[in-house]
């Protein structure tokens, strides 16, 4: 049976921290489904479709990565797809409390899905979508934090 991980998040936009987690996961799983949550924040910087497109462009050469969007409960989506493993990334201890709550809540909702956590490499510890947006929209250079398609998209956004 193929081992598949579901990697959910806002990805507004995808950063090299997220990319690092996907690449690590591909060493353990046969396939990673990156799932963009479209109902979490009401006013994202990039629309659901834009976020999906940016992730697809980032992994254009990686057939083992599938990119989808979903709304509603994550565990319902996982069940619908028959995926039993949800992947989340951990940066620092500060991520732990929220992720612990999220995983515990989801476990109460269903026993069918397990959460696993991967640690990003040190150079990405401090990278977050919100900080990247902040830097980019104020004219800063974000090439070391996000994949090339996102650099271009943020540049276009800053100029508009």
- The tokens for 20 are 């690092």
84 is catalytic: no
Answer yes or no: 91 catalytic: yes
Listed residue (86, 14, 81, 80) closest to 46, CA to CA = 14
Show the site string, 45-84: x = touches ligand ADP by CB under 6 A, - = not: ----------------------------------------
**Residue 15 interacts with ligand ADP (CB under 6 A)?**
yes
> How far, in Å, CA of 150 to CA of 94, rounded?
26
Strands 114-119 and 31-37: unpaired
x-or-dash pattern for ligand ADP, window 87-116, by CB under 6 A? Answer: -xx-x---x---------------------
Out of 120, 147, 151, 153, name the contact with ligand ADP by CB under 6 A: 120
Q: Which two tokens stand for residue 5?
A: 């991980």
> Which class for 34: exposed (0-12), middle (13-18), buried (19 or more C-beta within 10 A)?
buried
Q: Is 79 a catalytic residue?
A: no
* Residues tagged active-site: 18, 42, 91, 129
Binding site for ligand ADP (CB under 6 A): 9-11, 15, 17-18, 21, 40, 88-89, 91, 95, 120, 124, 127-129
């Amino acid at each position: 049976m193929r081992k598949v991980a579901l990697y959910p998040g806002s990805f507004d936009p995808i950063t090299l921290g997220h990319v690092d987690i996907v690449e690590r996961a591909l060493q353990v799983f046969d396939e990673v489904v990156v799932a963009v949550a479209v109902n979490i924040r009401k006013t994202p910087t990039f629309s659901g479709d834009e976020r999906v497109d940016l992730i697809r462009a980032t992994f254009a050469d990686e057939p083992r990565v599938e990119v989808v969007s979903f709304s509603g409960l994550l565990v319902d989506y996982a069940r619908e797809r028959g995926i039993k493993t949800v992947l989340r990334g951990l940066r620092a201890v500060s991520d732990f409390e929220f992720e612990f709550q999220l995983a515990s809540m989801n476990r109460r909702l269903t026993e069918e899905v397990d959460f696993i956590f991967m640690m990003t490499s040190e150079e990405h510890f401090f990278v977050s979508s919100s900080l990247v947006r902040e830097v980019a929209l104020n004219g800063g250079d974000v090439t070391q934090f996000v994949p090339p398609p996102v650099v271009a998209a943020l540049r276009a956004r800053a100029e508009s």
